[in-house]
Amino acid sequence: MEPDALAAPSLVDLTVARLSREILSGRPGPGEKLVEEQITRRYGISRAPLREALRLLAQRGLVEHVPRRGVRVATLSERDVRELYDLRDVLERHVVRTALPATPGGLADLREALRAMAEAATAGDRLSVAEAHRAFHVAVVALGGNRQLTAAYAATLEKIQLYMAVNLRREAETAHAPDGVDRHARLLDAVAGGDPAEVLAVLDGHGARSYLG
């Protein structure tokens, strides 16, 4: 019975990882109902691990339970979004002003995130592009070496990832695939240069509010 006891939590973890990745890619989108029967059939799992996964995702603010209507992808009000971006800006700029010059290890993490972003863009893999965008920005904030600040930033970014993903799709329809990679390459160059004023100038032109990545 001991192996069975380990199987259920592992299945829950896998379900959380897969479903959160899909949600953070923008499909299903904000407010879209999550139909248990469809998900269990697509994932090949029972309802029990799915419901536990949905409970955990609700704790992270990615889904919400609606009385008598089931579970849907979480939505944010315009005020929520503005406040989250304000918090994102404050945290990023604090790190830029206090953490430069970056360590070789920190720059290596940024280069790896940019490499993954470029590969995903070339392959047309929108899911991986969204993840690489998040990883890049988290790596920027991690330059400060403050684990609590980085965790708070990552949680903030996760809550607005739904809207980042919407704009990733919009960019795919209106711009060339390398555009997002080029924006982040310019930011990496500025960070590597070690001038906080230059990094802040690049961030100001990064399109964080019109293009949320």
Dump pLDDT digits (tens) for 8-27. Answer: 568 999 999 999 988 887 78
The pLDDT of residue 177 is 53
Distances 180 to 18, 41, 176, 198 between C-alpha atoms, Å:
24, 35, 8, 19
Structural domain span for residue 101 = 78-205
Distances 129 to 58, 66, 87 between C-alpha atoms, Å:
24, 30, 23
The pLDDT of residue 127 is 72
Query: What is the C-alpha to C-alpha distance for residues 206 and 164, in angstroms, rounded to an integer?
Result: 13
Per the CB < 8 A criterion, the answer to whether 191 and 143 are in contact is yes
- pTM (2 d.p.): 0.79
Is residue 1, in this structure, part of any structural domain at all? Answer: no
What percent of the chain lies above the pLDDT cut of 90? 61
Domain CATH code at residue 59:
1.10.10.10
**Collapsed DSSP state (helix, strand, coil) of residue 30:** coil
Same domain, 24 and 114: no
Is residue 39, in this structure, part of any structural domain at all? Answer: yes
The pLDDT of residue 41 is 96
The pLDDT of residue 167 is 61
Same domain, 63 and 107: no
Dump pLDDT digits (tens) for 127-136. Answer: 787 788 889 9
Per the CB < 8 A criterion, the answer to whether 165 and 32 are in contact is no
Is residue 3, in this structure, part of any structural domain at all? Answer: no
* Helical residues (DSSP H) of the chain, grouped into ranges: 2-24, 36-43, 47-59, 78-99, 104-123, 126-142, 147-174, 178-193, 196-204
Dump pLDDT digits (tens) for 28-81. Answer: 888 999 999 999 999 999 999 999 999 999 999 999 999 989 999 998 888 998
The pLDDT of residue 165 is 63
Same domain, 50 and 87: no
Domain CATH code at residue 142:
1.20.120.530
The pLDDT of residue 209 is 54
